[in-house]
Amino acid sequence: MQHRLRALASLALLIGATSAIAQTNPGSASTKNTRPAAANDKIAPDAAIDRANAYLNSAASLVADFVQVGADGRRSEGKLYVRRPGRLRFEYAQPATLEIVADGTSVSIRDRKLATNDMYFISQTPLKFLLKERIDLRRDVKILNVRETKTGVVITIEDKATFGGTSLIKLIFDPKTFALKQWHVTDPQGYETLVSLFNVDLTQTPDSSLFKINNERMLNPN
């Protein structure tokens, strides 16, 4: 169960990340030729939060590849589909066996290998604020810290889910373009996860059928 909860907590950040990455380079999760801002150009915390909100709200749908690296160094990858508000789908590539689908109300975490399917309301998960029609970090989460480092602007937030406890999330933005470069999630057990997006496409609107929780497949997982 815990590995599925960690997957859900860390992958939640992919949703909000996509629009920020796509603003500078829709085909890549990295930003080329960036440099830290000069000391007298450092962004104020309130301005950083405003820009983060603007990017997180700038796209309602996307298709992207994702790569996840867990605390044990294991690498998983797959395809992400999002249609806000409320809908997403993570398809893990083999040998991973997870599939996560949100249909607007519920979230299904299906493990083909274990033949399990765990169901939650979106409001019970870390996805709740990132799947809203309108995201507001000041309103939706507790902002612990905003600081600028040599590599970017780091916004640290605290997310209190109904189950599982509290997760700490660090969003790292480019100081000039404010493209989201990477993010780290520390779950309630202290496990850390790194997530990256690639080949982000905001021109596609994923078909509604991708977000249907298939009850027949729950009963016949293979």
Alpha-carbon 166 to chain mean position: 16
Alpha-carbon 12 to chain mean position: 4
pLDDT one-digit tens code per residue, 83-131: 989 999 989 999 999 899 999 999 999 998 999 998 988 887 766 777 8
- Where do the structural domains in the chain lie, given as residue ranges? 2-205
pLDDT one-digit tens code per residue, 122-145: 887 766 777 888 889 899 889 999
Q: How open is the CA angle 120-124-129, to the nearest 5 degrees?
A: 120
Distances (CA, A) of 172 to 95, 135, 157, 197: 29, 18, 11, 13
Superfamily of domain 2-205 in CATH is Lipoprotein localisation LolA/LolB/LppX (2.50.20.10)
pTM of the model: 0.72
Residues 6+ apart with CB under 8 A from 31: 24, 25, 174, 177, 179, 181
